[in-house]
Amino acid sequence: MLKKYGRTFHLPQSPGATSDDKIMRSVGGLIAANEVVFTEKMDGENTTIHSQGCHPRSLDARYHPSRDWMKAFAAGISPQLAGDERIVGEYLFARHSIAYRALPSYFLGFAWIKQEEVQAWDATLLRFAELGIASVPELYRGRFSDQVVSTVLSDLDLERQEGFVVRDFAAFPERDMPTHLAKYVREDHVQSDTHWMNAELIKNELAS
């Protein structure tokens, strides 16, 4: 059964939130966590790999030539997944608003979901290693605080990076994503009035 990945709420101070976005009402869940991990928010297409193949976040998405690579990649991963297991990540084949020139792969994983539970971050990285999946870049591990948010932001180049995602380091039920996971997106993130699927297909670049 296909299942859409849950929406990631914006942190209250995220300047990239639009009228269509959800904003985290309280960061209490992140503050209460023994440890959180910050990862880079990549500018691609949210994609899920499951035991029968893959799909973008929009389950009824139409065909697009950029998705051919993803389907072929997922074909090598899907047979290794149980029916209750999903890998979620950012698919970066087609350039959106940010150009990438040294990607380790066109698919970078950020979540391993099993039995409707988002698995702990270290366990997720081990599962990615077993499957041959590269992860999104990790920026920071530790306790959550406003000071840490400021430090992580100061190390980002928001001309070339979209922002970050922060999540509870431990496992948590998928239904608790709104309180255990959040994102910070740069202001005016989308740089074009034309949706990337309707624009000329320009590939991002892999590391040589």
- Domain 9-198, architecture per CATH: 2-Layer Sandwich (3.30)
pLDDT (tens digit per residue) in 33-54: 999 999 999 999 999 999 999 9
Q: What is the pLDDT of residue 85?
A: 97
Q: What is the pLDDT of residue 191?
A: 54
Partner residues linked to 23 by β-bridges: 10
Nearest to 85 by CA among 93, 77, 94: 77
d(CA 120, CA 103): 24
What pTM, to 2 d.p., does this model score? 0.93
Token couple for 85: 């297991």
10-residue mean pLDDT series, the chain (208 residues):
89 92 95 98 96 86 86 98 97 95 98 98 98 98 98 96 98 97 86 63 94
Boundaries of every domain in the chain: 9-198
